[in-house]
Amino acid sequence: MRRIIGVAGKICSGKSAFTTMLRDCSFHEIDVDAVGHEVVQEQIDAIEAAFGAAVVTGDRRVDRKALGRIVFADAAALRKLEQIVHPRMVEAVHSRIRGSDPEARIVVNAALLFHMGLHTLCDHVVVVRAWFPVRLIRSLRRDGHGLKATIARFARQRSLSLWGETVDITIVRNSTSRRALQRRVAAFLRDQEIEC
């Protein structure tokens, strides 16, 4: 029987590390951020109409940095972009699940799992959490942005409100070492009766 695990978490909480460990246990990953990159390019005409020619390069690619500067500075612009791309991203995830093996193990890796309603596709959801200072240090090391830009990026990220959600949720803490996270992944799989 197909098993679908959703993984959500804030910036640098470790959701991608958790997902990688599930991939090591024969899970197929649907990376919703990567799906978003594809959909943004597919919707280039609608994005250009909404945000202007400045967000499109000469070789007809969406300039993601230019688009990001617009939408992350203006909540209304961000909502407009989401209205263009989110429905198509959700449909792409649905399509990939429908096209998968009926016995497949699938992990849906999505920062906006709940916001986009993708948690409703999952048998279980893992929310990876880490202390703010830990996430901040990880982001500074990984992304190379300055402190001010990193904090602003954190502030723009949507909150993960789990109140009232009907899907089964496991909270996994990831503020220490990779080895500790591996132990928590192993414990999660045992709890779910999934063999690795």
Residue 98 sits in a domain of what CATH number?
3.40.50.300
Answer yes or no: is 92 within a domain: yes
Answer yes or no: is 8 within a domain: yes
Query: Percent of the chain, pLDDT > 70?
Result: 93
How far is the C-alpha of 174 from the C-alpha of 129, rounded, in Å?
6
Has residue 48 got a pLDDT over 80? yes
User: Which residue blocks in 43-74 are alpha helix, DSSP H?
Assistant: 44-51, 64-71
Give pTM, 2 decimals.
Answer: 0.88
Answer yes or no: is 16 within a domain: yes
Answer yes or no: is 68 within a domain: yes
Range of 70's domain? 3-191
How far is the C-alpha of 67 from the C-alpha of 63, rounded, in Å?
6
Answer yes or no: is 31 within a domain: yes
Mean pLDDT of 176-196: 93
- Cβ within 8 Å of residue 19, ≥6 positions away: 7, 27, 29, 31, 107, 109
Instruction: Write out the H or E segment, with its range, that includes residue 125.
Output: strand 124-129
Answer yes or no: is 172 within a domain: yes
Which tens digits make up the pLDDT trace of 107-161?
A: 999 999 999 999 999 999 999 999 988 888 888 888 777 777 777 776 766 666 6
Answer yes or no: is 196 within a domain: no
Answer yes or no: is 146 within a domain: yes
How many domains in the chain?
1
- Give the pLDDT of residue 133: 84
- Cβ atoms of residues 123 and 97 within 8 Å: no
- Give the pLDDT of residue 88: 97
